Structures are given as structure tokens and as C-alpha cells.
Amino acid sequence: MRDDPALRGRPLAVGGASERRGVVATCNYEARKFGIHSAMPTSTALRRCPPLIVVPPRMDVYREVSAKVHEIFSEYTALIEPLSLDEAYLDVSQATACQGSATLMAREIRERVRAELGITISAGIAPNKFIAKIASDWEKPDGQFVVLPHEVDAFVSELPVKKLFGVGKVMAARLHEMGVEKCGQLRGYTEAELVSRFGSFGQRLYQLCRGIDQREVKVERQRKSLSVENTFPVDLPNLPACQFELEVLFEQMVKRWQKLKSKYRVQGCFVKLKFDNFVTTTAEQTAESPDRMNYTPLMETAWQRHRRPVRLIGVGVRLSPISSTADSEYLQSQLDLPLS
């Protein structure tokens, strides 16, 4: 929309073509009025909104703009935790710009992004990451919302429990069965009762429904895995067809791994399959490197679980950070590995 004014004011989605089983990556607000959202099959989106315009992603443009946005962020604080290309946490508690006002900094950043890059962003300002994240969604698009420290209790009390981190459809349904729709109602349960019902996640629920979040802004986020996936235009009918496609996916994954192996060690490898009935399974094993020989038996293990046509294959590795000089010998061994 920024680069092509003719697209403004019209329902627009970025995603894959419907005839290739594409999905919506994102869409504008004109499209959302029709109930279109990310991860929806493009074919479904077009049925809901026949005049929908679907354009392919432009990752090079997104990365370029994201880098420029982060350059603006860095002029206000060095404590930046990227979540994705288009989202980040900023700790401005010690920043001196705008007289130290987080609200004024957010406003100024938004104005600069609009003037310098031609796009709009929204911001949430709050005492912790949990509430700031929720607040950032409050005044979209092109807005900001502030939750002051003394407002946290009342703000969180009225939040639907589905807004809490980790509460998906299944967890929300379980909470609703308990008569819990909002965080204020969840506060009626003791920490012990929530742990009894939900295990260790019960402790997290107890804290979040009270607006408690002690997580610090991490300047460098740690990856837990690296993978590549492909959804095929036509289902792969059998195991040999899946094994045939494995080679290209493995090469793509190893190419991405080259950029990370100076910071991470491999702890395992895995193959993920999604079958034609949308059932997903993952086969994995421990490993110290992305060894091609591991993936053929993993593919067979995963396929044998359902023995059906396959619509998606993913291959990847589990990672842990290289964090000390004790890892130097491992790091050198990885740097010496061939590409395949």
C-alpha cells in the first residue's frame, strides 16, 4: 500500500496463491472486516471476499524496512528485544530522550517511522512486557496505549483470559468450564489450586492474571530450533516421494545453519510431516550436527505413523547457545564441517 497507492482502501492480503495451497501471511484492515486473518488458506479468504487482492511476500523489502525501524529504535535505547521483523520490546527505563518519558518517546518514534519510512506502527507503554504487548494491540492501527503502574491491577482484571500468554483455544475452554472468562475471576483461585489443575503453567497463570511479569528485555533472543518447511501443491502420495523431496529441504536448512553455527550448537534433529487430513507429527533424535544420514530414517518413522499422503514437510535442528569458552572446541569443530 505504501509503494502502490492504487491498493489503498481496498481489501488486500499478502500470501501465497490459492491454486498452490497458499495461506494469508497478513492482511489490511479492509480485508479483516470480512473475517480474513493470518494463517487462513488463501482459497478461504477469496471465498469470504471475492474482490480480495492477493500479492506475494517481499521479504527483502520487509527486512530492509525492519532494519531501518530498528535503527530508529536504537537512537532511544540499546535495550531492544526483537520478536520478529515487525515487533520488538524496548526498555526505556534508563533512557534520557524526551525528558525520560516513555509515552513521548513512543509518540516520537511513531512520527519518525511515518515520516522517514512511510509506514505506521503502534505502541504499548507499560511497566512490564506482558502488559506492554497487550497495550500495543489496543489502539491499532497507528496508535498507542499507556497503562500506568497504578492502573495495572484494574486493567488486567478486565482482560479476557484468552489474552494471557500460553492460553490457546483448549486452555481457554478449560478455564471457561471453570466459570473463568476474565482475569479478575481467575484471581479467585489460589496458586496451589491452579498448579494442581494446570501443572507448572498454573503458576504462570497466577502471576499473569495479577499483571506480574518479571521478564527482562533480552537484547539478543536465543533460538531453540531452526527449520525449513514446504507445503506442496499436490499431496505427496507415499514415502519414496517424501524422501525425494527431503534433499532440497535439507540443503536449504544447512544453508541457513551456516549463519548460526558460530552462536549455537546442535542438540537434535527432526522431521515434521502434515498429512492430507491435517494431522501433524514430528520424529526427532539427539544429534551433534545436521547430519544428512539422520533424516532418512526420521522421515520413515514419521510417515509410518499414519501412512497417508503428505501435504507439508519440515526438517530442522534443535539448538542451544554457545555461551562460554568451554564451548570453543565444539565451535571450531562446527566451523570446520563441510556444507553437506
Give pLDDT, residue 100.
92
Decide if 213 is inside a domain: no
Give pLDDT, residue 211.
94
Decide if 220 is inside a domain: no
Asked if 87 is an active-site residue, the reply is yes
Q: Are residues 135 and 160 in the same domain?
A: no
Decide if 84 is inside a domain: yes
Give pLDDT, residue 333.
46
Q: Are residues 182 and 267 in the same domain?
A: no
State how far the Cα of 11 lies from the Cα of 46, in Å rounded to an integer.
Answer: 10
Q: Are residues 140 and 182 in the same domain?
A: no
Select from 147, 168, 186 the last residue of a domain. 147
The secondary structure of residue 5, as a DSSP letter, is G
Q: Are residues 283 and 330 in the same domain?
A: yes
Decide if 215 is inside a domain: no
Decide if 245 is inside a domain: yes
Select from 112, 128, 147 the last residue of a domain. 147
Give pLDDT, residue 337.
44
Give pLDDT, residue 187.
95
The residue segments making up the domain with residue 173 are 156-208
What CATH number does the domain containing 268 carry? Answer: 3.30.1490.100
Decide if 218 is inside a domain: no
Select from 55, 77, 94 the last residue of a domain. 55
Q: Are residues 47 and 104 in the same domain?
A: no
Q: Are residues 258 and 292 in the same domain?
A: yes
Q: Is 336 known to sit in a ligand binding site? A: no
Q: Are residues 83 and 13 in the same domain?
A: no
* Closest CA relative to residue 192, chosen from 203, 176, 178, 180: 203
Phi/psi of residue 315, nearest 5 degrees = -130, 145
pLDDT digits (tens, 9 = 90+) for 259-308: 888 889 999 999 999 999 889 999 999 999 999 999 999 999 999 999 99
Give pLDDT, residue 331.
44
Q: Are residues 80 and 51 in the same domain?
A: no
The secondary structure of residue 244, as a DSSP letter, is H
Q: Show pLDDT as tens, one digit a residue, over the chain (340 residues).
A: 999 999 999 999 999 887 777 889 999 999 999 999 998 999 999 999 999 999 999 988 998 999 999 999 999 999 999 988 889 999 999 998 999 999 999 999 999 999 999 999 999 999 999 999 999 999 888 899 999 999 999 999 999 999 998 888 889 999 999 999 999 999 999 999 999 999 989 999 999 999 999 999 988 777 889 999 888 888 999 999 999 999 999 999 999 899 888 889 999 999 999 999 889 999 999 999 999 999 999 999 999 999 999 999 999 999 998 865 444 444 444 444 444 3
| pTM confidence score | 0.71
Q: Are residues 48 and 96 in the same domain?
A: no
What CATH number does the domain containing 122 carry? Answer: 3.30.70.270
Total domain count for the chain?
4
Q: Is 142 known to sit in a ligand binding site? A: no
Decide if 308 is inside a domain: yes
Which residues of the chain form beta strands (DSSP E)? Answer: 12-15, 24-27, 53-55, 80-84, 87-90, 123-125, 144-146, 225-236, 264-275, 280-286, 310-321
Selected catalytic residue, list 64, 71, 87, 247:
87
Q: Are residues 129 and 50 in the same domain?
A: no
Q: Are residues 13 and 83 in the same domain?
A: no
Q: Are residues 30 and 88 in the same domain?
A: no
Decide if 273 is inside a domain: yes
* Closest CA relative to residue 207, chosen from 136, 123, 90, 198: 198
DSSP 286-308: E-SS--HHHHHHHHHHHHHTT-S
What CATH number does the domain containing 14 carry? Answer: 3.40.1170.60
